[in-house]
Amino acid sequence: MKGDRVEVVVDVGGGGTKTYDIVASRAGRRVEISNARGTIEVSEVTRTGVAVRSGRFMAARVVAVIEHPAEDERADRPKRPGNQPSLL
């Protein structure tokens, strides 16, 4: 969903860290995280499951993976009770 964002904080040695952001930049895309064989992969994926861009990080160097899900637009709308018809 547009607005999905993942921050990956990586140890670069010497007591320093570097932060990488992967963002779902278009409507219908989402950000997925996978962890396999000592590697963390963060990918921006289309509706059909095709990875548009991705980042791979050594799991031993990753300090944090912070997910920021997109805010649901429907949550801002006032909800009407399901058992009452509309007055309009």
pLDDT band at 25 (very low <50, low <70, confident <90, very high): confident
Predicted TM-score (pTM) of the model is 0.70
Owner of token pair 């637009």: 73
Instruction: Output the pLDDT for position 28.
Output: 81
How confident is the model over 62-78, as pLDDT tens digits?
Answer: 999 988 877 765 555 56
Instruction: Output the pLDDT for position 23.
Output: 84
Tell me the one-letter amino acid at 64.
A
In the sheet that holds 30-36, the strands lie side by side as 30-36, 39-45, 51-58
How confident is the model over 28-42, as pLDDT tens digits?
Answer: 888 888 998 999 999
Distance from chain centroid for Cα 18: 18
The rounded distance, in Å, linking the Cα atoms of 46 and 61 is 28
HSE-CB for 65 with a 13 A CA cutoff: 19
Higher pLDDT, 28 or 80: 28
